[in-house]
Amino acid sequence: MEEKACKHLKKFPRLNPDGIQENVSVADLIDQTFLAYNAGRLREGCQLVSRKMLPGNGLVGMSLTGALTPAGLGRSAIIPLIQGGYVDWIIATGANLYHDLHFGLDLHLHSGSPFVDDIKLRDKGVIRIYDVLFDYDVLLDTDAFVRQAIQAPEFQAAMGTDEFHYKLGRYVHEREKKMGLPTQSILSAAYQAAVPVFTSSPGDSSIGMNVAAMALRDSKFAFDVTRDVNQTASIVHWAKINKLNSSVILVGGGSPKNFMLQTEPQIQEVMGIPETGHDYFFQMTDARPDTGGLSGATPSEAVSWGKINPENLPDCVVAYLDATVGLPVLTAYCLSRTAKRPSKRLYEKRDETLEALRAAYFKHGTVEKIQRPQH
């Protein structure tokens, strides 16, 4: 009986790590000691990204949810992923991109404490995001920057959020250069690398609030969310027709997570284009499936929607942990274990990928093209 059990377990590595040594690298620490529970899932996720997502020039999309940029994770963890060519397209909450602007404008945020008197902070004009503190003027200065930018002629039209963020990123980049700063903003880094950045709920942030206010002043700018739905689907479709893997890294959940995963149902269910789902999937989350917080997003459940290729289900990993812990670890691991890749500059291919999707839709789709009356 004991011999059979041992024989059965031979395919599993023995859990008997060596003691942690001085000056161990982050990547070695993960490979050697993150062996069980959510540490084990984080190791599996890091190895999945490094060994399967990134090789072969595959496309990697990243969704960002939760107050990550106010905590400095934009500059510390996300910008290195963009600059290293490890992330090819991004979907983020508008709040993450709004607070990202503070860094590009050299406005100051401070590491504080969650155990403070919020009434006193209010009286002193101090804003708190858990243990991150900053002056109320940081918001006012950022608002003024957004409003000034969107008054430019190039913004006086409807456009997808990727186009909006690309143009806004150029303004941020120019401001950084004028102040003699290194790249400190995600939008600036994405602009330089032509990495498309989308927002799934553009009205749900201070950027959207400023856009709405300017509409009352007869601004002609508007978000084209329909283009966003098709544009994100076109990126995945473009990867598949070019024989590239399509992988997703989901940092947190929420709307960006769903917006990234719905690309496959958009291709398969709505457009009727034959497809099998994303190839690789890694999510860091503290949500639970039984409360609806991970609705449609656990790997096995996502398979039922056509979001994930069922053949690759073993290569889908969920680590239930705080993204402020997991994301810096993932970045350090990628930088240590995987060579940097040139940016695919997908933003510059946006019209090409969309037209390819349109052609496939008319070839495979069940809905006829709408015939408009001739004038």
Provide the 10 A C-beta neighbour count for residue 291.
Answer: 8
pTM over the 0.85 mark:
yes
Q: CA 338, CA 348: separation in Å to the nearest integer?
A: 25
Give the model's pLDDT for residue 62.
98
Q: Is the per-residue pLDDT at 220 higher than 90?
A: yes
- CB 85 within 8 Å of CB 342: yes
pLDDT at 199 over 80: yes
Does residue 9 carry a pLDDT above 90? Answer: no
Side chain identity at 25, as an amino acid letter? S
Sheet holding 126-129, edge to edge: 110-111, 132-135, 126-129
Cα 132 from Cα 259, distance rounded (Å): 28
pLDDT of amino acid 5:
56
Report how far apart, in Å, the C-alpha atoms of 255 and of each of 92, 200, 294, 295 are. 9, 6, 11, 11
Class of domain 26-363: alpha beta
Q: What angle do CA 197, 268, 257 make, to 5 degrees?
A: 35
Q: Among residues 7, 178, 243, 307, which one is catalytic?
A: 307
Which of 51-55, 102-106, 299-303 shows the lowest mean pLDDT across its residues? 299-303
More confident residue, 76 or 10: 76
Burial of 356 (0-12, 13-18, 19+ CB in 10 A): middle
pLDDT tens-place string over residues 336-354? 999 999 999 999 999 999 9
Contacts of 140 (CB under 8 A, 6+ apart): none
| Domain boundaries along the sequence of the chain | 26-363
Q: Is 7 tagged catalytic?
A: no
